[in-house]
Amino acid sequence: MKLVVAIVHEQDAARALEALGARGFGVTRLTSEGGFLERRNSLLLLGLDDSLVDEAIATLRSVCRPRHEQMNAGRGHDQAAAYDVDVEVEIGRATVFVLDLGRVERL
């Protein structure tokens, strides 16, 4: 068994849940916020048999799209380092972690 943890941009979360559900994957969704870009994300948790991990990742890959936005480089918590320069950053896609599970019980 594996635990697939996917951090998905909020704009892709609904499509990801729909696509995963259509393929029969059970998903738990938690709302989160990224630290650096301070963007809303969804944390998707899937407990899967090892043989299904690649299919789940392919499903996420098909719906999680990159986007580019302009962001002020001085944005953030360090006001002393504020700059008035816009930079282009990539947002979207998904970051996926696959973890081994030693034991799983459904109660």
**11 C-beta neighbours (distance < 10 Å), count:** 16
Residues in a beta bridge with 86? 72
Q: Are strands 28-33 and 2-9 parallel, antiparallel or unpaired?
A: unpaired
Q: Is the overall model pTM greater than 0.85, yes or no?
A: no
Cβ 42 vs Cβ 31: under 8 Å: yes
Where does 2-100 sit in CATH, by number?
Answer: 3.30.70.120
- Alpha carbon distance 55, 57 (integer Å): 5
Q: Break the chain into its structural domains and give their ranges.
A: 2-100
Residues in a beta bridge with 32? 41
Q: How confident is the model at residue 33 (pLDDT cuts 50, 70, 90)?
A: confident
Q: How confident is the model at residue 24 (pLDDT cuts 50, 70, 90)?
A: very high
Interval 19-29 mean pLDDT: 95
